[in-house]
């Protein structure tokens, strides 16, 4: 099972799933029960939507990532969604995940909810632009966390920073094959930086003055915005062809 968010994996695997690829379905579900789109098996339902472009978003309160009003509440609650462009408008898929089982044998039931919206605007930001903004924000955050010695105070943040240069696992690599290499690189880096931000914001870190805390928070919020913008741009691709 890939470590990518389910919505990112679905967006990237969409053409292969519509083409009936069993390996792609296995990459998406992993240890989950078979995914469904409302009441239908997911691959069948995806084929019926007539989608020609998809991308993933990571919405949050105050930053719905352009989701239409009908989908924003569910998307914010899930923290992720897939935006699919159709001939008649936009379809947003949001995963509803229900855990079951025990700590020793956990399981998840995943049902995707569909929300209709008006046509999505065309992509207006180039991959090179979001990559530049991501790198600038990353530099500022790493400099700030290093100055405040947050990494040494929080082992999870330290581990996440080290993971920025790690090779992706096999499953993640197979999912990323849906993208050209530059987009795949930006997407993976953005997702890893999103993890760094989440851990740094959740942890108390070192004892900070008010000005230090404000500087740290500002840098982290900027990086989170850059990472989420990069996820949307880098994961955006057409669904006309599939790679098995």
pLDDT tens figures, 226-239? 999 999 999 999 98
Give backbone dihedrals phi and psi of 45, rounded to 5 degrees, phi first: -65, -40
Among 97, 57, 22, smallest CA distance to 230 is for 57
For residues 8 and 2, the model is more confident at: 8
**Residue 223 pLDDT greater than 80, yes or no:** yes
Give backbone dihedrals phi and psi of 151, rounded to 5 degrees, phi first: -60, -40
Q: According to the model, what pLDDT value does residue 213 have?
A: 78
Contacts of 197 (CB under 8 A, 6+ apart): 141, 220, 223, 224, 227
For residues 11 and 147, the model is more confident at: 11
Contacts of 182 (CB under 8 A, 6+ apart): 127, 131
Count CB-CB contacts under 10 A for residue 120. Answer: 19
* Reported confidence tier of residue 1, pLDDT bands at 50, 70, 90: low
Q: How far apart are CA 184 and CA 194, in angstroms?
A: 15
Q: Domain map of the chain by residue range?
A: 6-122, 127-232
Output the pTM of the full model: 0.91
What pLDDT, in 10s, does the model give residues 141-154? 888 777 776 656 67
What pLDDT, in 10s, does the model give residues 64-87? 999 999 999 999 999 999 999 998
């Amino acid at each position: 099972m890939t470590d990518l968010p389910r919505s990112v994996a679905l967006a990237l695997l969409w053409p292969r799933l519509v083409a009936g690829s069993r390996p792609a379905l296995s990459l998406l579900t992993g240890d989950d029960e078979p995914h469904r789109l409302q009441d239908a098996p997911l691959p069948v339902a995806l084929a019926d939507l007539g989608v020609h472009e998809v991308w993933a978003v990571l919405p949050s309160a105050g930053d719905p990532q352009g989701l239409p009003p009908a989908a924003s509440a569910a998307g914010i609650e899930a923290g992720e969604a897939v935006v699919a462009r159709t001939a008649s408008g936009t379809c947003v898929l949001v995963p509803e995940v229900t855990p079951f089982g025990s700590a020793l044998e956990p399981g998840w039931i995943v049902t995707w909810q569909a929300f209709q919206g008006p046509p999505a605007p065309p992509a207006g930001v180039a991959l090179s632009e979001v990559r530049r903004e991501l790198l600038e924000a990353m530099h500022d955050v790493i400099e700030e966390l290093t100055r405040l010695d947050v990494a040494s105070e929080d082992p999870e943040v330290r581990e996440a920073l080290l993971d920025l240069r790690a090779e992706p696992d096999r499953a993640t690599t197979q999912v990323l094959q849906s993208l050209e290499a530059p987009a795949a690189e930006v997407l993976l880096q953005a997702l890893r930086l999103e993890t760094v931000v989440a851990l740094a914001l959740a942890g108390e870190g070192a004892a900070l003055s008010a000005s230090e805390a404000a500087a740290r928070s500002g840098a982290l919020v900027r990086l989170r915005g850059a990472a989420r913008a990069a996820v949307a741009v880098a994961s955006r691709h057409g669904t006309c062809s599939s790679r098995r």
